[in-house]
Amino acid sequence: MSENNHIETLIIRYLEQNISEEDIRELDRWLGESADNKTYFFQLKGIYDRICRSRHFNEEELEESWKHMLDKLESKPSTIPLGNDKKKNIFISSLKYVAIIVVAILMGWGIGEITGTQTHDSENNSLAWNEIEVQKGGKPSTILLSDGSKVSLNTATTFRYPTNFSEIEREVFLDGEAYFEIKEDALKPFIVKLKDQHITVLGTTFNIEAYTDENYSIITLLSGSISLETFNEKQESVSNQLMKPNQRAYFDRQSGIVSLESVDASLSNVWMNGEYKFRDEPLYLILKRLENYYGITIYLESESLRNIKYTGTFNVHQSIQEVLKIINYEKQFTFSELNKENEIYIRMSNFNEKI
Protein backbone atom coordinates (compact mmCIF):
# COMPACT_ATOMS: atom_id res chain seq x y z
CA MET A 1 0.00 0.00 0.00
CA SER A 2 1.38 3.40 -1.00
CA GLU A 3 1.91 6.08 1.64
CA ASN A 4 -0.93 8.22 0.21
CA ASN A 5 -3.37 5.28 0.31
CA HIS A 6 -2.28 4.47 3.85
CA ILE A 7 -2.89 8.07 4.99
CA GLU A 8 -6.28 8.07 3.28
CA THR A 9 -7.16 4.90 5.16
CA LEU A 10 -6.25 6.59 8.44
CA ILE A 11 -8.36 9.62 7.53
CA ILE A 12 -11.33 7.40 6.70
CA ARG A 13 -10.95 5.60 10.02
CA TYR A 14 -10.75 8.94 11.80
CA LEU A 15 -13.87 10.33 10.13
CA GLU A 16 -15.69 7.06 10.78
CA GLN A 17 -14.64 7.36 14.46
CA ASN A 18 -13.05 3.92 14.28
CA ILE A 19 -9.38 4.79 14.71
CA SER A 20 -6.94 3.39 17.26
CA GLU A 21 -4.73 5.49 19.54
CA GLU A 22 -1.66 4.32 17.59
CA ASP A 23 -3.22 5.39 14.27
CA ILE A 24 -4.29 8.80 15.62
CA ARG A 25 -0.70 9.45 16.69
CA GLU A 26 0.56 8.47 13.22
CA LEU A 27 -2.00 10.77 11.63
CA ASP A 28 -0.94 13.55 13.99
CA ARG A 29 2.72 13.11 12.98
CA TRP A 30 1.77 13.24 9.29
CA LEU A 31 -0.23 16.45 9.82
CA GLY A 32 2.81 18.06 11.40
CA GLU A 33 5.04 17.35 8.39
CA SER A 34 3.67 20.12 6.14
CA ALA A 35 1.02 22.81 5.75
CA ASP A 36 -0.37 21.03 2.66
CA ASN A 37 -0.97 17.89 4.68
CA LYS A 38 -3.10 19.92 7.10
CA THR A 39 -4.93 21.57 4.18
CA TYR A 40 -5.65 18.16 2.67
CA PHE A 41 -7.00 16.79 5.95
CA PHE A 42 -9.07 19.75 7.15
CA GLN A 43 -10.58 20.52 3.76
CA LEU A 44 -11.66 16.90 3.45
CA LYS A 45 -12.95 17.02 7.00
CA GLY A 46 -14.82 20.19 6.02
CA ILE A 47 -16.75 18.21 3.42
CA TYR A 48 -17.63 15.70 6.09
CA ASP A 49 -18.69 18.38 8.59
CA ARG A 50 -20.93 20.14 6.09
CA ILE A 51 -22.71 16.94 5.09
CA CYS A 52 -23.11 16.09 8.80
CA ARG A 53 -25.73 18.82 9.00
CA SER A 54 -28.06 16.37 7.30
CA ARG A 55 -28.08 12.59 7.20
CA HIS A 56 -29.40 12.81 3.62
CA PHE A 57 -26.98 12.76 0.69
CA ASN A 58 -26.86 16.22 -0.95
CA GLU A 59 -24.97 15.91 -4.22
CA GLU A 60 -24.94 19.65 -4.98
CA GLU A 61 -23.51 20.45 -1.54
CA LEU A 62 -20.82 17.77 -1.95
CA GLU A 63 -19.81 19.17 -5.36
CA GLU A 64 -19.68 22.72 -3.97
CA SER A 65 -17.50 21.60 -1.03
CA TRP A 66 -15.32 19.55 -3.35
CA LYS A 67 -14.70 22.49 -5.71
CA HIS A 68 -13.92 24.72 -2.73
CA MET A 69 -11.34 22.20 -1.56
CA LEU A 70 -9.70 21.96 -5.01
CA ASP A 71 -9.55 25.75 -5.34
CA LYS A 72 -7.66 26.01 -2.05
CA LEU A 73 -5.30 23.16 -2.94
CA GLU A 74 -4.46 24.69 -6.34
CA SER A 75 -4.20 28.31 -5.14
CA LYS A 76 -0.87 27.74 -3.36
CA PRO A 77 2.40 26.03 -4.35
CA SER A 78 2.29 22.39 -3.32
CA THR A 79 4.85 20.97 -0.91
CA ILE A 80 3.57 17.44 -1.51
CA PRO A 81 5.99 15.75 -3.94
CA LEU A 82 3.64 14.88 -6.81
CA GLY A 83 6.38 14.78 -9.44
CA ASN A 84 4.36 15.40 -12.63
CA ASP A 85 0.84 16.20 -13.87
CA LYS A 86 -0.04 12.52 -14.13
CA LYS A 87 0.84 11.93 -10.50
CA LYS A 88 -1.01 15.10 -9.55
CA ASN A 89 -4.16 13.90 -11.32
CA ILE A 90 -3.91 10.55 -9.53
CA PHE A 91 -3.50 12.41 -6.23
CA ILE A 92 -6.53 14.65 -6.87
CA SER A 93 -8.60 11.64 -7.96
CA SER A 94 -7.69 9.85 -4.76
CA LEU A 95 -8.95 12.82 -2.75
CA LYS A 96 -12.31 12.67 -4.44
CA TYR A 97 -12.40 8.91 -3.90
CA VAL A 98 -11.93 9.47 -0.19
CA ALA A 99 -14.70 12.09 -0.21
CA ILE A 100 -17.07 9.58 -1.82
CA ILE A 101 -16.21 7.06 0.89
CA VAL A 102 -16.92 9.72 3.51
CA VAL A 103 -20.40 10.13 2.03
CA ALA A 104 -20.84 6.35 2.12
CA ILE A 105 -19.93 6.42 5.80
CA LEU A 106 -22.56 9.10 6.38
CA MET A 107 -25.15 6.98 4.60
CA GLY A 108 -25.05 4.59 7.52
CA TRP A 109 -21.85 2.58 7.76
CA GLY A 110 -20.29 2.49 11.21
CA ILE A 111 -21.97 5.50 12.82
CA GLY A 112 -24.69 3.85 14.89
CA GLU A 113 -23.04 4.76 18.18
CA ILE A 114 -21.90 8.28 17.24
CA THR A 115 -23.98 11.16 15.93
CA GLY A 116 -22.83 14.55 14.71
CA THR A 117 -24.40 17.92 13.88
CA GLN A 118 -23.09 21.29 12.76
CA THR A 119 -24.39 24.78 13.65
CA HIS A 120 -23.24 28.38 13.22
CA ASP A 121 -22.62 30.92 15.97
CA SER A 122 -25.43 33.50 15.84
CA GLU A 123 -23.00 36.27 16.82
CA ASN A 124 -20.21 35.12 14.51
CA ASN A 125 -21.42 33.41 11.34
CA SER A 126 -17.86 32.53 10.37
CA LEU A 127 -17.57 30.16 13.35
CA ALA A 128 -19.09 26.75 12.56
CA TRP A 129 -19.73 24.48 15.55
CA ASN A 130 -19.73 20.70 15.51
CA GLU A 131 -21.41 18.51 18.11
CA ILE A 132 -20.38 14.89 18.59
CA GLU A 133 -22.38 12.52 20.79
CA VAL A 134 -21.07 9.12 21.86
CA GLN A 135 -24.10 7.17 22.95
CA LYS A 136 -24.50 5.27 26.19
CA GLY A 137 -22.98 1.82 25.75
CA GLY A 138 -21.00 2.96 22.69
CA LYS A 139 -17.26 2.89 22.02
CA PRO A 140 -14.86 5.71 22.97
CA SER A 141 -14.08 8.10 20.12
CA THR A 142 -11.05 10.33 19.40
CA ILE A 143 -11.45 13.82 17.89
CA LEU A 144 -8.58 15.76 16.31
CA LEU A 145 -9.13 19.51 16.65
CA SER A 146 -7.98 22.15 14.16
CA ASP A 147 -5.07 23.25 16.40
CA GLY A 148 -3.70 19.70 16.60
CA SER A 149 -5.11 18.99 20.08
CA LYS A 150 -6.69 15.56 20.64
CA VAL A 151 -9.81 14.78 22.65
CA SER A 152 -10.90 11.23 23.47
CA LEU A 153 -14.59 10.93 24.34
CA ASN A 154 -15.96 8.24 26.63
CA THR A 155 -19.44 6.73 26.41
CA ALA A 156 -22.58 8.81 27.07
CA THR A 157 -20.66 11.99 26.21
CA THR A 158 -21.52 15.09 24.16
CA PHE A 159 -18.72 17.34 22.91
CA ARG A 160 -19.17 20.67 21.07
CA TYR A 161 -16.27 22.32 19.26
CA PRO A 162 -15.67 24.74 16.35
CA THR A 163 -14.39 23.56 12.99
CA ASN A 164 -11.72 26.27 13.34
CA PHE A 165 -10.95 28.21 16.51
CA SER A 166 -11.30 31.98 16.74
CA GLU A 167 -8.26 34.25 16.73
CA ILE A 168 -8.65 35.01 20.46
CA GLU A 169 -9.21 31.68 22.22
CA ARG A 170 -9.87 27.97 21.82
CA GLU A 171 -13.24 27.21 23.40
CA VAL A 172 -15.10 23.86 23.62
CA PHE A 173 -18.06 22.48 25.59
CA LEU A 174 -18.31 19.11 27.34
CA ASP A 175 -21.09 17.07 28.90
CA GLY A 176 -19.68 13.71 29.96
CA GLU A 177 -16.15 12.31 30.20
CA ALA A 178 -13.16 13.12 28.01
CA TYR A 179 -9.37 12.98 28.03
CA PHE A 180 -7.59 16.04 26.59
CA GLU A 181 -4.13 16.38 25.04
CA ILE A 182 -3.81 20.11 24.36
CA LYS A 183 -1.27 21.67 22.00
CA GLU A 184 0.55 24.55 23.65
CA ASP A 185 -0.28 28.05 22.42
CA ALA A 186 0.65 30.86 24.81
CA LEU A 187 -1.40 33.39 22.81
CA LYS A 188 -4.61 31.34 22.63
CA PRO A 189 -5.76 29.72 25.88
CA PHE A 190 -7.77 26.52 25.61
CA ILE A 191 -11.02 26.67 27.60
CA VAL A 192 -13.26 23.70 28.41
CA LYS A 193 -16.71 24.83 29.54
CA LEU A 194 -18.76 22.52 31.76
CA LYS A 195 -22.18 23.09 33.29
CA ASP A 196 -20.80 25.20 36.14
CA GLN A 197 -17.03 25.14 35.71
CA HIS A 198 -14.47 26.54 33.27
CA ILE A 199 -11.06 24.92 32.80
CA THR A 200 -8.36 27.10 31.24
CA VAL A 201 -5.11 25.61 29.92
CA LEU A 202 -2.22 26.48 27.62
CA GLY A 203 -0.84 23.00 26.96
CA THR A 204 -1.43 19.97 29.15
CA THR A 205 -3.11 16.56 29.56
CA PHE A 206 -6.09 15.99 31.81
CA ASN A 207 -9.27 13.95 32.24
CA ILE A 208 -12.74 15.36 32.91
CA GLU A 209 -15.78 13.49 34.16
CA ALA A 210 -18.68 15.95 34.24
CA TYR A 211 -22.14 14.71 33.28
CA THR A 212 -24.78 17.44 33.43
CA ASP A 213 -27.35 15.17 35.08
CA GLU A 214 -25.00 14.18 37.93
CA ASN A 215 -24.40 16.08 41.19
CA TYR A 216 -20.63 16.01 40.85
CA SER A 217 -17.73 16.54 38.48
CA ILE A 218 -14.17 15.19 38.64
CA ILE A 219 -11.14 16.78 36.96
CA THR A 220 -7.82 14.91 37.09
CA LEU A 221 -4.57 16.51 35.92
CA LEU A 222 -1.87 14.28 34.42
CA SER A 223 0.66 16.89 33.26
CA GLY A 224 1.09 20.66 33.02
CA SER A 225 -1.22 22.96 34.96
CA ILE A 226 -4.80 24.15 34.67
CA SER A 227 -6.91 26.91 36.18
CA LEU A 228 -10.25 25.61 37.47
CA GLU A 229 -12.95 28.26 37.85
CA THR A 230 -16.26 27.34 39.50
CA PHE A 231 -19.59 29.16 39.14
CA ASN A 232 -22.80 29.22 41.18
CA GLU A 233 -26.36 28.91 39.87
CA LYS A 234 -26.31 32.61 38.89
CA GLN A 235 -23.15 31.97 36.84
CA GLU A 236 -21.11 34.07 39.26
CA SER A 237 -17.51 33.02 39.79
CA VAL A 238 -17.10 31.66 43.34
CA SER A 239 -13.61 30.10 43.24
CA ASN A 240 -10.52 29.78 41.07
CA GLN A 241 -7.94 27.09 41.81
CA LEU A 242 -4.65 26.20 40.17
CA MET A 243 -4.17 22.44 39.80
CA LYS A 244 -0.87 20.53 39.69
CA PRO A 245 -0.11 17.11 38.16
CA ASN A 246 -1.51 14.11 40.05
CA GLN A 247 -4.24 16.19 41.64
CA ARG A 248 -7.95 15.49 41.39
CA ALA A 249 -10.64 18.12 41.92
CA TYR A 250 -14.00 16.79 43.12
CA PHE A 251 -16.85 19.28 42.81
CA ASP A 252 -20.06 18.67 44.80
CA ARG A 253 -22.73 20.61 42.92
CA GLN A 254 -25.17 20.50 45.82
CA SER A 255 -22.82 22.06 48.38
CA GLY A 256 -20.76 24.06 45.87
CA ILE A 257 -17.54 22.81 47.47
CA VAL A 258 -14.47 21.89 45.39
CA SER A 259 -11.99 19.58 47.14
CA LEU A 260 -8.47 18.84 45.88
CA GLU A 261 -6.65 15.59 46.64
CA SER A 262 -3.47 13.84 45.48
CA VAL A 263 -4.09 10.74 43.35
CA ASP A 264 -2.44 8.43 40.86
CA ALA A 265 -3.62 10.38 37.81
CA SER A 266 -2.62 7.58 35.40
CA LEU A 267 -5.73 5.66 36.51
CA SER A 268 -8.05 8.39 35.23
CA ASN A 269 -7.71 7.71 31.50
CA VAL A 270 -7.26 3.93 31.26
CA TRP A 271 -10.83 3.80 29.91
CA MET A 272 -9.30 4.81 26.55
CA ASN A 273 -7.87 1.26 26.37
CA GLY A 274 -11.15 -0.38 27.36
CA GLU A 275 -10.17 -0.72 31.02
CA TYR A 276 -11.45 0.73 34.25
CA LYS A 277 -9.24 0.82 37.33
CA PHE A 278 -10.57 2.18 40.58
CA ARG A 279 -8.85 2.60 43.92
CA ASP A 280 -10.82 3.32 47.11
CA GLU A 281 -13.71 4.61 45.02
CA PRO A 282 -17.29 4.72 46.40
CA LEU A 283 -19.73 2.22 44.96
CA TYR A 284 -22.16 4.81 43.58
CA LEU A 285 -19.43 6.32 41.35
CA ILE A 286 -18.39 2.88 40.11
CA LEU A 287 -21.99 2.00 39.26
CA LYS A 288 -22.51 5.25 37.34
CA ARG A 289 -19.55 4.41 35.13
CA LEU A 290 -20.82 0.86 34.61
CA GLU A 291 -24.19 2.24 33.50
CA ASN A 292 -22.48 4.28 30.78
CA TYR A 293 -20.16 1.48 29.67
CA TYR A 294 -22.88 -1.14 29.33
CA GLY A 295 -25.83 1.07 28.40
CA ILE A 296 -27.92 -0.14 31.34
CA THR A 297 -29.58 1.21 34.49
CA ILE A 298 -28.44 0.07 37.94
CA TYR A 299 -30.64 0.72 40.98
CA LEU A 300 -28.86 0.86 44.35
CA GLU A 301 -31.69 -0.05 46.73
CA SER A 302 -29.65 0.08 49.95
CA GLU A 303 -28.45 3.60 50.72
CA SER A 304 -25.88 2.24 53.20
CA LEU A 305 -23.95 0.72 50.27
CA ARG A 306 -23.55 4.05 48.46
CA ASN A 307 -20.25 5.20 49.96
CA ILE A 308 -18.56 1.85 50.60
CA LYS A 309 -15.19 2.03 48.82
CA TYR A 310 -13.81 -0.61 46.50
CA THR A 311 -10.59 -1.28 44.59
CA GLY A 312 -10.36 -3.31 41.41
CA THR A 313 -9.85 -3.59 37.65
CA PHE A 314 -12.08 -4.75 34.82
CA ASN A 315 -12.32 -4.36 31.04
CA VAL A 316 -15.32 -3.68 28.84
CA HIS A 317 -15.13 -7.15 27.27
CA GLN A 318 -16.27 -8.71 30.53
CA SER A 319 -19.99 -9.12 31.16
CA ILE A 320 -21.70 -6.84 33.67
CA GLN A 321 -22.48 -9.85 35.84
CA GLU A 322 -18.82 -10.82 35.92
CA VAL A 323 -17.76 -7.28 36.82
CA LEU A 324 -20.25 -7.08 39.69
CA LYS A 325 -18.96 -10.39 41.05
CA ILE A 326 -15.41 -8.98 41.04
CA ILE A 327 -16.51 -5.87 42.93
CA ASN A 328 -18.56 -7.93 45.38
CA TYR A 329 -15.82 -10.33 46.38
CA GLU A 330 -16.62 -9.74 50.07
CA LYS A 331 -20.31 -10.58 49.46
CA GLN A 332 -21.53 -7.27 50.86
CA PHE A 333 -24.46 -7.04 48.48
CA THR A 334 -26.65 -9.09 46.16
CA PHE A 335 -27.65 -8.17 42.60
CA SER A 336 -30.33 -9.29 40.18
CA GLU A 337 -29.93 -10.62 36.68
CA LEU A 338 -30.16 -8.11 33.83
CA ASN A 339 -33.87 -7.89 32.94
CA LYS A 340 -35.58 -7.12 29.63
CA GLU A 341 -35.50 -3.40 30.41
CA ASN A 342 -31.69 -3.54 30.81
CA GLU A 343 -31.98 -2.97 34.57
CA ILE A 344 -30.09 -4.43 37.52
CA TYR A 345 -31.08 -4.08 41.20
CA ILE A 346 -28.50 -4.09 43.99
CA ARG A 347 -29.28 -4.40 47.69
CA MET A 348 -27.48 -5.15 50.94
CA SER A 349 -26.88 -8.85 51.50
CA ASN A 350 -28.94 -10.57 54.21
CA PHE A 351 -25.78 -11.24 56.25
CA ASN A 352 -24.92 -7.53 56.42
CA GLU A 353 -28.49 -6.50 57.18
CA LYS A 354 -28.40 -8.57 60.38
CA ILE A 355 -25.21 -6.95 61.65
Average pLDDT over residues 201-214: 89
Confidence of residue 174 (pLDDT cuts 50, 70, 90): very high
Compute the distance between CA of residue 11 and CA of residue 287 in angstroms, rounded to an integer: 35
Average pLDDT over residues 271-287: 87
pLDDT attached to residue 277: 84
Report the percentage of the chain scoring pLDDT > 90.
28
Average pLDDT over residues 26-30: 82
pLDDT attached to residue 110: 39
pLDDT attached to residue 57: 47
Short-list 19, 62, 25, CA closest to 43: 62
Compute the distance between CA of residue 51 and CA of residue 15 in angstroms, rounded to an integer: 12
pLDDT attached to residue 71: 60
**Cβ–Cβ < 8 Å for 15, 45:** yes
Confidence of residue 81 (pLDDT cuts 50, 70, 90): very low
pLDDT attached to residue 211: 92
pLDDT attached to residue 113: 52
Average pLDDT over residues 38-66: 59
The amino acid that residue 268 corresponds to is S
pLDDT attached to residue 157: 93
Confidence of residue 55 (pLDDT cuts 50, 70, 90): very low
**Cβ–Cβ < 8 Å for 14, 7:** no
Length of the chain: 355
pLDDT digits 0-9 by tens, 235-245 = 888 889 999 99
Confidence of residue 54 (pLDDT cuts 50, 70, 90): very low
**Cβ–Cβ < 8 Å for 210, 172:** no
Q: Which residue has the higher pLDDT, 31 or 246?
A: 246
Average pLDDT over residues 343-354: 75
Q: What is the overall mean pLDDT for the chain?
A: 78
Q: Exposed (0-12), middle (13-18) or buried (19+): which is 221, by Cβ within 10 Å?
A: buried
Compute the distance between CA of residue 103 and CA of residue 231 in angstroms, rounded to an integer: 42
Short-list 298, 305, 303, CA closest to 333: 305
Average pLDDT over residues 18-36: 77
Compute the distance between CA of residue 146 and CA of residue 59 in angstroms, rounded to an integer: 26
pLDDT attached to residue 161: 93
Compute the distance between CA of residue 38 and CA of residue 22 in angstroms, rounded to an integer: 19
pLDDT digits 0-9 by tens, 100-131 = 555 444 444 334 455 556 565 555 556 788 88
Average pLDDT over residues 323-330: 88
pLDDT attached to residue 104: 46
Confidence of residue 18 (pLDDT cuts 50, 70, 90): low
Confidence of residue 233 (pLDDT cuts 50, 70, 90): confident
Confidence of residue 95 (pLDDT cuts 50, 70, 90): low
Compute the distance between CA of residue 41 and CA of residue 53 in angstroms, rounded to an integer: 19
Residue 256: phi and psi, rounded to 5, are: 80, 10
Average pLDDT over residues 311-333: 88
Q: Which residue has the higher pLDDT, 21 or 348?
A: 348
Residues 6+ apart with CB under 8 A from 142: 14, 17, 19, 21, 24, 150, 151, 152, 153
Short-list 181, 107, 144, CA closest to 27: 144
